[in-house]
C-alpha cells in the first residue's frame, strides 16, 4: 500500500461522536489508556477521549507501514542520516544512552566532562557561585528555562536566570537579580554565532567588568557544538562543554545545553532526567504499532490535522511548574514539522498544526470559552501530576485536578439547551497525560515523549523534522539592514526611517 492509498482509506471512516464511541466499547478506556513505568513512578497516557477507534488505528498502522516507519525509526536510533537536507543524523537519544554505540560513548565522555565541571563549581573551584545567567535562544534556552522552572524551585543549588531575548530589558532584569561577584555566565549556542546570544554575552561580560570583576571571561562557561569558536571568543578550553553537531538545537536539553539544569538541581537530578527520557527512547524503539505511545499520539495528531482540518492543537498544563511547556512545545513542534514540502521537495498537504496553550486553571478563565463554544475544533492535551508541587492545604491540588478532569469531561459531553447561547456542542476531543509525580525522571520522559511524537508524525507526513531553513531569511535581511546600503520595500524603508535604525 502507498501513503496515498493509506490516506484514502483513512478518509473513508465514519465520524461517530465520542459519546457513541464510549457507549459502543466498554473497553475503550483500557484500550486507549496506557501507563509507562519509570522505576518508582509512572505516567498514564489517556487517549480515550479522542476519536481514535480500532479501525482508525489499524489504518494508521497501515499508513505508518507505507511510510516505512520501522525503517526510519531504525535509522534514527542507528545514528544514520535522518536529516537529508543537511546530511545529518539526529542523535539526541544517544545523549540519554540509547543509540549508536560510538555516539553513546562519545556522549558519555562529554557528560563526564560536564559532571566534573558542575561538581567542581558546586565544590567552590570557581569561588562562591550563587547565580548563573544563561544566555542562549531557541533550543539553547527554551529547554533549560523550562527544566529549571519545573524542577529547580525548591532550594536550588544555584539561582539560574535564562536570558534569550536580545531586548536588553531581559538581561537587565537578570542583572537586577544577581550579584556580579558571585555570578557565572553560561553562553549557550550550538553555532556560537547567533547574534542575539553573542550580543547578550558581550553585555553580560561588560556588566561583570563594570562591577569590578577582574577576569570576566574567566566567569564564562561555553555550551556549544562549535568549541573552536568559543576558544576564538576567548573562553578557556577547561570551561567549554561541547556537544555533537548531530544534536539539533531544539533537541539539545540533554547535552551540555542542560548545564544550568545540572547546576541548579544537582548532577543526580540531571541524570534522572536523562534516565526518564531513556525509558521513553526504549519504549519508542522497541514497541510496535498502536501500543507505541508517541506513535499513537501522532496518529491522533494526524487524524485531527488531516481528516478533521484542525489547524491548531492546544496544551494545558495543570501544573504551575510546567507553565513554560507550551512555549517549549511550540518550538519543538512548529520548528520541526512546520514544513510545506516533502522530503523529496514536492508540495505537502497540511503539516504541523499551530501549537498553543497555557496553564490550568488560569486558561479556563481566559480561552476556554472558545474551546467549549467557538467554531474551531481544537484537540487538547491536558497534563497534570497526581502529587502536588505545593505544601499548602490539600484543597489547592484537589481543585486543580478536579478542574483538569472536569474540562475534559465537559468538552466531550457538552450540554444541550433550548437557549443556543447556553448550549455546548460537546464531542470535543482531549488527551490526558497524568504523571504520578513531577520529578526529573517523569519530566525527562514527558519531553522525550513529545520529541518522538514529532518524529513519528514527520515520518508519516513524509517531511524532514530536523532542519529549519524557514528561520534563515529573516535573519539574512536583518543582517543586510545592519550592513546598510541595501534598499527594501517602501513600507520597511519607512519604518526604518521613522525608527532611525538601519
Ligand atoms: O532560529 C533557529 C535556531 O537555529 C534554532 O533552531 C536554534 O535552537 C536557535 O536558532 C539557536 O541557535 P544556536 O544554538 O546556534 O545559537
C-beta of residue 412 within 8 angstroms of C-beta of residue 426: yes
Evaluate the omega torsion of the peptide bond into residue 361 and state whether it is cis, within 30 degrees of 0: yes
At 304, the pLDDT band (50, 70, 90 cuts) reads very high
197 lines ligand 1 (CB under 6 A): yes
pLDDT digits (tens, 9 = 90+) for 54-96: 999 999 999 999 999 999 999 999 999 999 999 999 999 999 9
At 47, the pLDDT band (50, 70, 90 cuts) reads very high
String of DSSP letters for 183-212: EEEEEE-SSS--HHHHHHHHHHHHHHHHTT
pLDDT digits (tens, 9 = 90+) for 387-400: 999 999 999 999 99
C-beta of residue 426 within 8 angstroms of C-beta of residue 372: no
249 lines ligand 1 (CB under 6 A): yes
User: What span, in angstroms and rounded, lies between the C-alpha atoms of 149 and 260?
Assistant: 11
Assigned domain for 335 exists? no
At 21, the pLDDT band (50, 70, 90 cuts) reads very high
Assigned domain for 490 exists? yes
pLDDT of residue 382: 98
Assigned domain for 183 exists? yes
Assigned domain for 221 exists? yes
Catalytic residue among 8, 206, 398, 475: 475
Name the domain boundary from 249, 270, 291: 270
What CATH number has the domain bearing residue 157?
3.40.50.10490
Cell reading at 192:
556560537
Catalytic residue among 176, 365, 421, 498: 365
pLDDT of residue 76: 98
Q: Give the CB-side neighbour count of residue 11, counting CA atoms within 13 A.
A: 8
Assigned domain for 131 exists? yes
Distances (CA, A) of 49 to 19, 335, 453: 9, 28, 18
Q: Which residue reads 560536564 in cell numbers?
A: 114
Name the domain boundary from 243, 270, 297: 270
Q: What is the mean pLDDT of residues 212-219?
A: 96
Q: Which of 135, 140, 466 to mutate to test the pocket of ligand 1 (most atoms within 8 A of CB)?
A: 140
Assigned domain for 158 exists? yes
The contacts of residue 66 (CB under 8 Å, 6+ apart) are 1, 2, 3, 5, 6
C-beta of residue 141 within 8 angstroms of C-beta of residue 134: yes
Assigned domain for 478 exists? yes
Is 232 one of the annotated active-site residues of the chain?
no
Assigned domain for 440 exists? no
Cα 190 to averaged position of ligand 1 atoms, centre (Å): 7
Residue whose Cα lies nearest atom 8 of ligand 1: it is 139
pLDDT of residue 39: 86
- Number of folded domains in the chain? 2
Strand blocks (E) in 319-449: 354-359, 380-385, 430-435
User: What span, in angstroms and rounded, lies between the C-alpha atoms of 102 and 390?
Assistant: 42
pLDDT digits (tens, 9 = 90+) for 109-166: 999 999 999 999 999 999 999 999 999 999 999 999 999 999 999 999 999 999 999 9
pLDDT of residue 298: 98
Is 475 one of the annotated active-site residues of the chain?
yes
User: Which pTM was predicted?
Assistant: 0.98
Q: What is the mean pLDDT of residues 259-276?
A: 98
String of DSSP letters for 273-287: HHHHHHHHHHHHHH-
- Does residue 432 have a pLDDT over 80? yes
Residue whose Cα lies nearest atom 1 of ligand 1: it is 471
Q: Which of 90, 139, 141, 145 to mutate to test the pocket of ligand 1 (most atoms within 8 A of CB)?
A: 139
User: What span, in angstroms and rounded, lies between the C-alpha atoms of 85 and 451?
Assistant: 19
**Cα dihedral 205/210/212/216 (nearest 10):** 10
Domain that holds residue 248: 93-270
Cell reading at 417:
439547551
Q: What is the mean pLDDT of residues 235-250?
A: 97
Name the domain boundary from 270, 303, 322: 270
Amino acid at each position: 500500500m502507498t501513503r496515498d492509498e493509506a490516506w484514502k482509506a483513512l478518509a473513508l471512516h465514519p465520524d461517530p461522536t465520542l459519546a457513541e464511541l464510549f457507549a459502543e466499547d466498554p473497553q475503550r478506556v483500557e484500550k486507549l489508556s496506557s501507563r509507562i513505568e519509570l522505576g518508582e513512578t509512572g505516567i498514564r497516557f489517556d487517549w480515550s477521549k479522542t476519536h481514535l477507534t480500532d479501525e482508525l488505528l489499524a489504518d494508521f498502522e497501515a499508513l505508518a507501514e507505507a511510510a516505512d516507519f520501522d525503517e526510519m525509526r531504525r535509522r534514527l536510533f542507528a545514528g544514520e542520516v535522518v536529516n537529508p537536507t543537511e546530511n545529518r543524523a539526529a542523535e539526541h537519544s544517544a545523549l540519554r544512552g540509547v543509540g549508536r554505540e560510538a555516539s553513546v560513548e562519545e556522549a558519555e565522555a562529554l557528560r563526564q566532562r560536564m559532571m566534573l565541571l558542575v561538581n567542581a563549581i558546586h565544590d567552590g573551584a570557581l569561588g562562591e557561585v550563587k547565580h548563573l545567567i544563561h544566555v542562549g535562544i531557541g533550543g539553547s534556552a527554551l529547554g533549560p528555562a523550562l527544566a529549571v522552572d519545573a524542577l529547580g524551585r525548591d532550594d536550588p543549588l544555584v539561582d539560574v536566570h535564562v536570558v534569550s531575548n536580545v531586548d536588553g530589558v531581559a538581561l537587565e532584569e537578570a542583572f537586577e537579580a544577581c550579584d556580579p561577584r558571585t555570578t557565572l555566565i553560561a553562553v549557550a549556542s550550538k553555532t556560537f554565532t547567533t547574534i542575539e546570544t553573542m550580543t547578550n554575552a558581550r553585555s553580560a561580560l561588560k556588566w561583570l567588568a563594570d562591577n569590578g570583576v577582574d577576569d570576566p571571561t574567566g566567569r564564562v562557561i561555553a555550551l556549544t557544538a562549535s568549541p573552536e569558536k568559543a576558544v576564538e571568543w576567548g573562553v578557556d578550553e577547561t570551561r567549554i562543554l561541547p556537544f555533537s553537531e548531530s544534536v539539533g538545537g531544539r533537541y539539545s536539553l540533554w547535552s551540555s545545553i542542560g548545564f544550568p539544569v545540572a547546576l541548579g538541581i544537582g548532577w543526580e537530578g540531571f541524570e534522572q532526567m536523562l534516565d526518564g527520557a531513556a525509558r521513553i527512547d526504549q519504549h519508542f524503539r522497541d514497541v510496535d504499532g498502536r501500543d507505541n505511545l508517541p506513535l499513537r499520539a501522532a496518529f491522533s495528531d494526524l487524524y485531527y490535522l488531516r481528516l478533521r482540518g484542525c489547524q491548531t492543537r492546544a496544551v494545558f498544563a495543570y501544573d504551575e511548574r510546567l507553565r513554560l511547556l507550551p512555549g517549549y512545545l511550540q518550538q519543538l513542534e512548529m520548528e520541526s514539522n512546520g514544513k510545506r514540502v516533502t522530503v523529496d521537495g514536492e508540495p505537502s498537504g497540511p503539516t504541523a498544526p499551530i501549537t498553543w496553550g497555557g496553564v490550568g486553571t488560569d486558561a479556563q478563565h481566559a480561552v476556554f470559552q472558545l474551546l467549549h463554544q467557538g467554531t474551531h475544533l481544537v484537540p487538547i492535551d491536558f497534563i497534570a501530576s497526581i502529587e502536588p508541587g505545593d505544601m499548602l492545604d490539600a484543597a489547592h491540588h484537589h481543585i486543580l485536578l478536579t478542574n483538569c478532569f472536569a474540562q475534559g469531561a465537559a468538552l466531550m459531553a457538552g450540554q444541550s439547551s433550548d437557549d443556543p447561547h447556553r448550549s455546548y456542542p460537546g464531542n470535543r476531543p482531549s488527551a490526558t497525560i497524568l504523571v504520578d509525580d513531577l520529578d526529573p525522571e517523569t519530566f525527562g520522559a514527558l519531553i522525550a515523549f513529545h520529541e518522538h511524537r514529532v518524529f513519528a508524525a514527520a515520518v508519516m507526513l513524509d517531511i524532514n523534522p530536523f532542519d529549519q531553513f524557514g528561520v534563515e531569511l529573516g535573519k539574512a535581511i536583518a543582517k543586510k539592514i545592519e550592513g546598510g546600503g541595501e534598499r527594501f520595500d517602501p513600507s520597511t524603508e519607512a519604518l526604518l526611517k521613522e525608527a532611525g535604525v538601519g
